[in-house]
Amino acid sequence: MLMPAGLVPFTTIDFPNRLAAVIFFQGCPLRCPFCHNPNLQPFHTQNTADWEEIVSFLKSRQKQLDGVVFSGGEPLMQPDLKKGMQTVRDLGFQIAIHTSGVFPDKLADVLPLIDWVGLDIKAPWEKYALLTGRTDVMESVKKSLRLVVQSQTAYEVRTTLDPRHLTIEDVYCLADELMAERVQTYTLQKYRTFDTDQNPPESSQIDSFFKETALITYLQNHFLHFACR
């Protein structure tokens, strides 16, 4: 059974170069202090969306949309994710996934169905436990990272920069770790405050990473594809 939590019927930014819909799924094993969707963290069956209704919507958009994004929460927590992806692919859509990489074996199982992976790497490895609330996921994330990089699937590794938890030195460290894993596509994302955010950072703090010319130049010179978002 799939447990969708919601649907964004149209996006131009969540699946590169495609017009897509985004399906959000309930449940995430991480407890990142900067999470924008804490309501999606608990894994339960009290859905706010119905899978069959989403499939019906997608059928009505077969000529308007190129793809469907599976997001969350952590979509790889869904027991029937592979079946759901196959249903979507059978409708003629390409598939993207947004994942934290904490379930590498499940990722490997569905990867043949996926056209693009957005892999969130939260922090340099030494700070992973602090920024995820879990002491047991780092090696799994590394395994997923290697799986994606070594596959033939298009991907983007990205990091959201919350200045309350990451420093410019952390970004240099993480970049070097990603280069060691042969990552070629990397994106830095601005942290965006939200209504229930407690003690949100100032915009000047958020922007400070992106105004650090030496850092941006370093990343541009060391990744084949680098972007700020």
> What pLDDT does residue 45 have?
61
How confident is the model over 58-80, as pLDDT tens digits?
999 999 999 999 999 999 999 99
Cross-strand partners of 99: 119
CATH number at residue 221: 3.20.20.70
Q: Spell out a b/e string for 3-13, using b for 16 or more CB atoms within 10 Å of the CB, else e.
A: bbbbbeeebee
- Domain span including residue 169: 4-228
- Number of residues that make up the chain: 229
Taking the C-alpha atoms of residue 171 and residue 98, their distance in angstroms, rounded to an integer, is 21
**pLDDT > 70? residue 46:** no
Cross-strand partners of 14: none
Average pLDDT score over the chain? 95
Contact 104, 143 (CB under 8 A): yes
CA 197 to chain centre: 20
Total number of domains constituting the chain: 1
Exposed/middle/buried for 153, CB within 10 Å: 0-12, 13-18, 19+? middle
Taking the C-alpha atoms of residue 229 and residue 218, their distance in angstroms, rounded to an integer, is 17
Taking the C-alpha atoms of residue 98 and residue 227, their distance in angstroms, rounded to an integer, is 17
How confident is the model over 191-223, as pLDDT tens digits?
998 877 888 999 999 999 999 999 999 999 999
> What pLDDT does residue 42 have?
81
Q: By mean pLDDT, which of 43-47, 115-119, 139-143, 156-160 is the weakest?
A: 43-47
Taking the C-alpha atoms of residue 38 and residue 136, their distance in angstroms, rounded to an integer, is 20
Contact 10, 65 (CB under 8 A): yes
Q: How confident is the model at residue 169 (pLDDT cuts 50, 70, 90)?
A: very high
